[in-house]
Amino acid sequence: MSNNISFSCGYAAIIGSPNAGKSTLLNRLLNHKLSIVTPKPQTTRKKITGIYHDDRCQIIFLDTPGIMAPMQKLHESMLKTTRTTLREADVIVAMIPGSKKAGPFDLGFTDMLFAKWLKNPAKPVVAVLNKADILTGEEREKALRTIRGRWNPEKVLAISALLGTGVSDLVEALIPFLPLENPLYPEDVLSTAPERFFVSEIIREKIFLQYGQEIPYATEVVIDEFKEQHRSDPSKKDMIRCSIIVERDSQKQILISKKGTALKKLGMAARKDIEELLDRPVFLELFVKVRPDWRKRNVMLKSFGY
Ligand SMILES: Nc1nc2c(ncn2[C@@H]2O[C@H](COP(=O)(O)OP(=O)(O)OP(=O)(O)O)[C@@H](O)[C@H]2O)c(=O)[nH]1
Ligand SMILES: [Mg+2]
């Protein structure tokens, strides 16, 4: 593969509004569930690196937190991640979600995305209209025309990250903007982040899916201990101990619930996915801890990797 003269390699940042489908696209490209996906906005909080490989190219995709108006320090840190990721990229995938509610897509947000974030971009921009599966052909064409006419990106295409429609066309569209002639990573490498990061993300995803209102947003997950016991003795399960951080005692009570059934349910759902990811059985222990106002406190945020 690396001897192929026409091989291309480079970095592509996926940016867009919260809930646009950025993480769904990353997973679809990799054919692997790497980045967590939920119906709630602001699911992704950190940069997720996913490496796409085929015979002609290697694309290091960078999934980013959705762009929003920051309400607190955590948001500012998430936006900073998106901003620095843009600097790393050779090409930018600007994702615009198709929507029935706001017409073919949210023009207000798209305007902001292009005006503020992609103003005089130093990098080529490929605009992607996602969720094309929920639009009629007419709506899709109208949205594509508007994006093309108004913001003039290098390329514009409609995809469905959920169904996979148009995703190979997107790869094709990105290849001309990849600067390197050799792959940076071996073919079996899917990400640069360690297993424990993805374990904490799976737990966060289950929290987003299981709890309502402010709970998912007030929660952070920290891996306290990851004992890879299977390495020394394959008959032994790995031991993973995690802290679930919340802001208030009342949130802790909701997370655990009266007889601990909610936390147990959470643990079971998370363990199932963790075992699938690691391809081996694990013990998972969850503890809930209160850290008042962690989303507003620099020291706390820093200790959680923000
Ligand atoms: N119908 C449809 N739904 C989609 C598509 N892509 C994503 N979704 C759904 O949109 C929701 C948000 O998807 P995510 O991939 O988490 O979105 P995101 O842009 O990563 O969101 P944040 O991490 O919050 O910024 C999920 O419920 C997805 O299933 C698509 O192509 N079609
Ligand atoms: Mg996401």
The domain defined by 8-177 carries CATH number 2.60.120.10: no
Q: Which atom of ligand 1 is nearest to the CA of 161?
A: 31
Q: What is the pLDDT of residue 16?
A: 95
Ligand 1: residues within 6 Å at CB?
A: 16, 18-24, 37-39, 41-44, 65-66, 130-131, 133-134, 160-162
Region 134-160 average pLDDT: 92
Q: What is the pLDDT of residue 231?
A: 85
Q: What is the pLDDT of residue 104?
A: 52
The CATH number of 195-303 is: 3.30.300.20
pTM assigned to the model: 0.94
- 195-303 has the same fold as 8-177: no
Beta strand 282-290 with 220-227 is unpaired
Looking at the predicted structure, is the pLDDT value of residue 107 above 80? no
Q: How many alpha carbons lie under 13 Å from residue 35 in its C-beta half-sphere?
A: 31
Looking at the predicted structure, is the pLDDT value of residue 73 above 90? yes
Q: What is the pLDDT of residue 2?
A: 46
> What is the C-alpha separation between 48 and 74, in angstroms, rounded?
17
Domain map (residue ranges) of the chain: 8-177, 195-303
Q: What are phi and psi of 15, to 5 degrees?
A: -125, 160
CA-nearest of 126, 135, 77 to 104 is 135
List residues bridging with 121 in a β-sheet: none
Task: Collect all residues with Cβ–Cβ distance below 8 Å to 297 and sequence separation of at least 6.
Answer: 73
